[in-house]
């Protein structure tokens, strides 16, 4: 099977090594020192006390690889938007795009039914760029559970979890999503197919909408955020607002899942959220798909998001002051 990993960082690199060693024709789109290291030494994965090495075809030009059966996008949401035109050489008539990214995906309202069906989110996909250039009909949803890190150019370290939850936007068990499940499973991943992938997207987002911006603003680790009473209360307020938006969109996630998410997060001692890591390392901050999108969806569904609005304004300004965020999109007021 021909599979291109677009963005061979921590998660993309993990996928690339395991899929290549399982016998698939894997290519990776990378850049800079990371790309040079992959070309020179292969892509290394440190996992379970072992070192695995794969030698996928690697380039910073997708045109080198031709049409694929699957393209797995492991970029951050704003990077995917910026790179939308670059996917074209990889996309044949039947190529599927697997969005292995955090936050609300750009294809969210594809085949949802109802009054929002076919609508793109300006916070995630300004101008509908990905909707037009890639096409939502190619999309397969993917919720990423593994924790991985690029510890040196060309070297990925896996910390925990191996689950990639996948699903078609319309909930079907299509031939292509079954083929993806089989490929991932044979490559040592847990890859359950869900018939309501947006449910899983929201469950993870309930944590990201609060943990990420609060970490960037306070520089606190995940266990500190969930243990300090005032920060925990702030998280719960934001989660309740996100749950109200979720419900307004017709997705029912039990309220008790809030406490479960907080408990699970609190067990991860010393972990820095990705937004804080980006701030510390001078990388562009992934604010919109994780937080701004929830605000935009709240406006669309007439659900107030007062606490989210305040935290979002603060973290956006934090990003601007650091030169790591430049958007000025503000959804219409309620």
Q: HSE-up of 48 (CA within 13 Å, CB side)? A: 5
For residue 221, count other CB atoms closer than 10 A to its CB.
Answer: 17
Helix axes 293-300, 229-248, angle to 10 degrees: 50
Specify whether the backbone of 243 is left (phi greater than 0), alpha (psi in -120 to 50) or beta: alpha
327 HSE (CA, 13 A, CB side):
23
Per the residue annotation, which of 44, 76, 88, 204 is the catalytic one?
Answer: 204
Query: Quick one: residue 302, left, alpha or beta (phi over 0 = left, psi -120 to 50 = alpha)?
Result: left
Q: Look at phi and psi of residue 43 and say left if phi exceeds 0, alpha if psi is from -120 to 50, else beta.
A: beta
204 among known catalytic residues: yes
Across-strand partners of 100? 142
User: At a CB cut-off of 8 Å and minimum separation 6, what does 204 contact?
Assistant: 102, 143
Query: Which positions are catalytic?
Result: 204
């Amino acid at each position: 099977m021909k599979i291109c990993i677009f963005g061979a960082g921590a998660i993309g690199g993990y996928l690339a090594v395991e899929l290549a060693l399982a016998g698939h024709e894997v290519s990776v789109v990378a850049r800079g020192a990371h790309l040079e290291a992959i070309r020179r030494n292969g892509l290394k994965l440190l996992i379970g006390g072992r070192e695995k090495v794969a030698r996928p075809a690697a380039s910073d030009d997708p045109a080198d690889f031709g049409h694929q059966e699957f393209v797995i996008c492991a970029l951050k949401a704003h990077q995917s938007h910026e790179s939308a035109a670059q996917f074209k050489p990889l996309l044949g008539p039947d190529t599927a795009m697997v969005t292995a990214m955090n936050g609300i995906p750009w294809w969210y309202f594809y085949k949802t039914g109802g009054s929002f069906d076919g609508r793109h989110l300006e916070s995630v996909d300004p101008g509908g760029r990905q909707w037009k250039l890639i096409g939502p009909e190619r999309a397969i949803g993917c919720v990423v559970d593994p924790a991985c890190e690029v510890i040196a150019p060309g070297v990925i370290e896996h910390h925990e979890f191996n689950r990639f939850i996948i699903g078609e936007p319309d909930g079907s068990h299509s031939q292509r999503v079954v083929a993806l499940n089989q490929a991932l499973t044979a490559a040592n991943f847990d890859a359950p197919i869900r018939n309501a992938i947006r449910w899983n997207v929201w469950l993870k987002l309930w944590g990201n909408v609060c943990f990420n911006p609060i970490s960037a603003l306070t520089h606190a680790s995940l266990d500190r955020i969930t243990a300090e009473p005032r920060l925990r209360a702030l998280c719960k307020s934001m989660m309740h607002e996100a749950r109200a938006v979720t419900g307004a969109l017709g997705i029912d996630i039990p309220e008790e899942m809030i406490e479960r998410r907080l408990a699970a997060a609190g067990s991860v001692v010393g972990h820095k959220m990705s937004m804080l890591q980006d701030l510390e390392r001078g990388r562009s901050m992934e604010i919109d798909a994780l937080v701004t999108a929830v605000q935009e969806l709240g406006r669309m569904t007439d659900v107030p998001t007062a606490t989210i609005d305040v935290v979002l304004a603060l973290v956006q300004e934090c990003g601007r002051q650091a030169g790591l965020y430049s958007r000025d999109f503000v959804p219409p007021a309620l």
